Amino acid sequence: MSTSVSAHGNGVLAAEKRRRPVTVPDFLAAKARGIRLTMLTAYDYTMARLLDDAGVDAILVGDSLGMVMQGEPHSLRVTLDETIYHTRLVARGVRTSLLVSDLPFMSYQLSPTQALESAGRLVKEGGAHAVKLEGGKRSADAVAAITGADIPVVGHIGLTPQSVHRLGGFRVQRDAKKLLDDALAIERAGAFALVVECVPAELAEQIRLSVKIPTIGIGAGAGCDGQVLVTHDMLGLFTDLRPKFVKQYADVGASIRAAVEAYCQEVRAGQFPGPEHAFRS
């Protein structure tokens, strides 16, 4: 683990975060200060409020909603309209976290103009503070077009889930030259942060040292400037996939199943509702 990345503190803003929202300049300052960033996913108002109240620095409306919310095997069928809808729900629950929304598959690949139009809709209609898109050098023109309109962008390199068919599945990416070139291209295009997914820890550390913008790791070891996880994974709510890099912090799924079983048992036994749950005439 690099000693240049701080292992202490409760978030990028710590006490400051309780007074004001997290901003893009805060993300950039966090890297300079050696303070690690936290990011988790949300797709609805209730989860967004919980994450925001807990002090997470950024909330991502990921296209992972295709799997954890829609039951799809991958994220490729998620549409821009669906992402806008979920972003709008999350935006209602955000008070201080930075709200980042994914550009879904085929909402930015056709041209930089298409990318800008899609990003603009996520901000204008969805309420996103920033957008995220996958790809390195191949996506640099799209990033430049979006940031040129003053819409903040988070890049995403390494395992890019929208490329699942080309990659042959969700596989660790090890091409150091390509990944470093991709990181630098996205930084030059104007992104303010970079997600690095499923990359060997030593290579992720090289990427972090090669760019001035913060790197947010997922399956990329502890040497990144921050970390992101799918909330449904780390809470035990989604078990269809069990990535090696996920730490499960709670088994909320088991608690829900136990509560529902108890409810069904009490209703069937005539124990619920009891007198204390009924109105009197």
Distance of CA 13 to the CA centre of its chain: 18
Phi, psi of 170 (to 5 degrees): -90, 90
From its phi and psi, is residue 150 left (phi > 0), alpha (psi between -120 and 50) or beta? left
Cα–Cα distances (Å) from 112 to 47, 148, 151, in that order, read: 33, 11, 13
The dihedral region occupied by 34, where left means phi > 0, alpha psi between -120 and 50, and beta the remainder, is left
Distance of alpha carbon 139 from alpha carbon 25, whole angstroms: 23
Catalytic, 125? Answer no
Question: If you compute the radius of gyration of the chain from its CA atoms, what whole number of angstroms results?
Answer: 20
Contact 57, 12 (CB under 8 A): yes
Cα separation, 32 vs 51, whole angstroms: 25
List the catalytic residue out of 134, 187, 197, 205.
197
Sign of the Cα torsion 71, 76, 82, 83 reads positive
The rounded distance, in Å, linking the Cα atoms of 52 and 41 is 11
What Å distances lie between residue 268 and 11, 233, 277, CA to CA?
47, 32, 16
Note whether 229 and 218 are within 8 A (CB). yes
Place of tokens 């992720």: 204
As annotated, the active-site residues are 197
